[in-house]
Amino acid sequence: MSDGWFWFANLIEYEELSYQAWVKTGQSRYRDKIGARDREIEQAMEEYEFPDLRGRWHLLKGHLGIEDALSSEDHTGLPVALEHYKVGFTQIARGFVGSHGAAAIPREFERFGELFRRLPLDTQAQWQEGLRRAWREADATSLLARLGELF
């Protein structure tokens, strides 16, 4: 079981580090690496139920969805990105309280907030309502309390 966690975690961290390097440098070679391990991550998700890792994967997909929509000015992918955030944050909030579980929510929410504020105002309002509804249904009060941080 622990080998599975390390395998899964390493795959997610590779993707996250590629994303961070791309955001920091703007070099397309880092962006091109993101998604290279999708098949392996999907396999790990079929085999293991680690909500914190699944959540991190969804958040990364959400980040990429916003980045891609803003850079291309094609916002058709934003509803999918929103779904990734709904699921990802909920999974992390349910995970253990550790550096990748619920304790990571402030850091992850800050990263999300930076991207969220770059969205058009009407999209922000729709997303805030969508997140509120999803997190209320999931009884994720710790996440609901953070919605005010977005504005």
Say how many Å lie between the first and final Cα of the chain, rounded. 41
CA distance 98 to 136: 23
Amino acid 22 reads: W
Q: Give the mean model confidence (pLDDT) for residues 20-40.
A: 94
Q: What confidence tens digit (pLDDT) does each residue in 41-72 have?
A: 999 999 988 888 999 999 999 999 999 999 99
pTM: 0.91
Cα dihedral 47, 48, 49, 54 sign: negative
CA distance 89 to 46: 20
Domain boundaries, the chain: 1-48, 49-151
Please say if the pLDDT value at position 142 is more than 90: no
